[in-house]
């Protein structure tokens, strides 16, 4: 359907939900104690613009899926939604929260509002959201999709919608991290997703523990994972792109190789194939 003159408007209940979320996220802090700031009027406008384009302009100006990021190769499609409120818990030092704070590269609010926009549409206008994702996947030449760069399966119905999406595109390799696998939040579709040949689910709470820390912590956690599951956990050694997120020195300081190395033809494939991935916490 194409009618660029038509527009979508959020109702009063929608706006009440957004207003409550704006207050809630203000109290979410990163590891330095910095808070997240998103503007009510700004996110309302962004949500209405995106839904209008998806419904009345065939989503021509909308891109839910992005080509890579500061760490992931551009050949990998990336999907992200707002953290914490989509997750079953908030881990201290959450990288996604850090990316949303106002001091992070000066783009924290921009990132937070974009991720919140997609979270809201995925949760409350789910059919619209997945219609657009399917449009984008039908046109893509990518064979890999990193689902939930930020965020998690929102609820059982969202998990079911993701199952349908993953089954619809068997030639695309989806890989994602979730805490739902650890807490088992009444999501029967998750068991089906885990068993799909084109999906890899990484447990973000291995043995109930956070999956990042210093070298000593990771060594002990890897030993625990091996003891409890018989599976060898992989420690991520991927660096980040000097031109995008962190500089090369920062990457090497945190155990990376200073290069963009996650996914793609020649990049690391651990997230695509392994059950447990551990990360060195950024200093």
Q: How many independent structural domains does the chain possess?
A: 1
Residue 2 lies in a domain: no
Structural domain includes residue 53: no
pLDDT at 69 over 90: no
DSSP-derived 3-state class of residue 102: coil
Whether 67 has a pLDDT exceeding 70, the answer reads: yes
Residue 135 to residue 240: CA distance in whole angstroms: 30
Indicate whether 256 belongs to any domain: yes
Is the pLDDT at 31 greater than 90, yes or no?
no
Task: Give the residue, 70 or 116, on which the prediction is more confident.
Answer: 116
Is the Cβ–Cβ distance between 89 and 97 less than 8 Å? no
Q: Which residue has the higher pLDDT, 59 or 102?
A: 59
Does the structure show a pLDDT above 60 at 130? Answer: yes
Provide the residue range defining the domain that includes 212: 205-283
Specify the 3-state DSSP secondary structure of 192: helix
199 in Cβ contact with 162 (< 8 Å):
no
Residue 233 φ/ψ region, left for φ over 0, alpha for ψ in the -120 to 50 degree band, beta for the rest: beta
DSSP assignment letter at 103: T
Render pLDDT for 188-246 as a digit per residue (tens, 0 to 9). 899 899 999 999 999 988 888 888 888 899 999 999 999 999 999 988 876 543 333 43
Question: Who wins on pLDDT, 214 or 17?
Answer: 17
Question: 280 pairs with which residues across the strands?
Answer: 213
What DSSP assignment string belongs to 210-254?
-SEE-HHHHHHHHHHHHHHHSPPPEE------TTTSS-HHHHHHT
Higher pLDDT, 9 or 270: 9
Mean pLDDT of the chain: 84
Q: Which helix (H) or strand (E) holds 14?
A: helix 12-26
> Taking 50 as the threshold, does the pLDDT of residue 274 lie above it?
yes
- Residue 216 belongs to a domain: yes
231, part of any domain: yes
Q: Rg for the chain (alpha carbons), in Å?
A: 19
pLDDT at position 28: 76
Confidence class of residue 74 from pLDDT cuts 50, 70 and 90?
A: confident
Task: Give the pLDDT confidence score for residue 84 in this predicted structure.
Answer: 82
Which pTM value belongs to this model?
0.87
Within a domain: 200: no
Strands of 199-203's sheet, edge to edge? 66-67, 76-78, 144-147, 173-178, 199-203
* The predicted structure's pLDDT at residue 106: 56
pLDDT at 251 over 60: no
The helix (H) or strand (E) run that includes residue 17 is helix 12-26
Cα dihedral across residues 82, 71, 172, 48: positive or negative = positive
Residues in the chain: 283
Q: How confident is the model at residue 259 (pLDDT cuts 50, 70, 90)?
A: low
Give the residue-averaged pLDDT of 148-171: 95
In-domain check, residue 126: no
pLDDT over 80 (residue 1) = no
% residues pLDDT > 90 (the chain)? 49
Average pLDDT over residues 24-35: 73
Between 52 and 270, the higher pLDDT residue: 52
Q: Does some domain include residue 28?
A: no
Are 203 and 275 spatial neighbours (Cβ–Cβ below 8 Å)? yes
Q: Specify the higher pLDDT residue, 91 or 130.
A: 130
The model's pLDDT over 135-149, given as tens digits with 9 standing for 90+, comes to: 999 999 999 999 999
What is the average per-residue pLDDT within 240-256?
A: 42
Taking residues 153-166, report their average pLDDT: 95
> Which pLDDT belongs to residue 185?
66
Q: 55: Cβ–Cβ under 8 A, 6 or more apart, which residues?
A: 1, 6, 8, 128
pLDDT mean over 166-172: 98
């Amino acid at each position: 359907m194409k009618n660029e003159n038509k527009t979508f408007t959020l109702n009063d209940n929608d706006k009440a939900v957004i207003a409550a979320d704006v207050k809630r996220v203000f109290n979410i802090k990163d590891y330095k104690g910095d808070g997240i700031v998103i503007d009510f009027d700004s996110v309302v406008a962004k949500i209405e613009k995106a839904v209008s384009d998806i419904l009345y302009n065939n989503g021509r100006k909308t891109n839910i899926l992005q080509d890579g990021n500061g760490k992931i190769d551009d050949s990998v499609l990336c999907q992200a939604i707002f953290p914490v409120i989509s997750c079953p818990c908030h881990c201290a030092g959450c990288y996604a929260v850090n990316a949303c704070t106002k001091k992070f590269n000066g783009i924290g609010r921009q990132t937070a509002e974009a991720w919140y926009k997609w979270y809201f549409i995925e949760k409350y206008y789910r059919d619209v959201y997945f219609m657009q994702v399917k449009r984008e996947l039908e046109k893509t030449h990518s064979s890999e999709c990193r689902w939930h760069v930020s965020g998690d399966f929102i609820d059982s119905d969202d998990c079911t919608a993701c199952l349908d999406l993953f089954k619809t595109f068997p030639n695309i390799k989806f890989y994602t991290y979730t805490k739902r696998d650890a807490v088992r939040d009444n999501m029967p579709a998750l068991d089906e997703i885990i068993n799909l040949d084109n999906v890899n689910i990484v447990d973000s709470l291995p043995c109930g523990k956070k999956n990042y820390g210093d070298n000593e912590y990771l060594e002990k956690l890897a030993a625990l994972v091996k003891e409890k599951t018989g599976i060898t956990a992989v420690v991520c050694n991927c660096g980040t792109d000097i031109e995008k997120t962190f500089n090369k020195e920062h990457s090497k300081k945190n155990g990376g190789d200073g290069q963009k190395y996650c996914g793609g033809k020649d990049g690391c494939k651990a997230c695509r194939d392994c059950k447990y991935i551990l990360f060195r916490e950024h200093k």
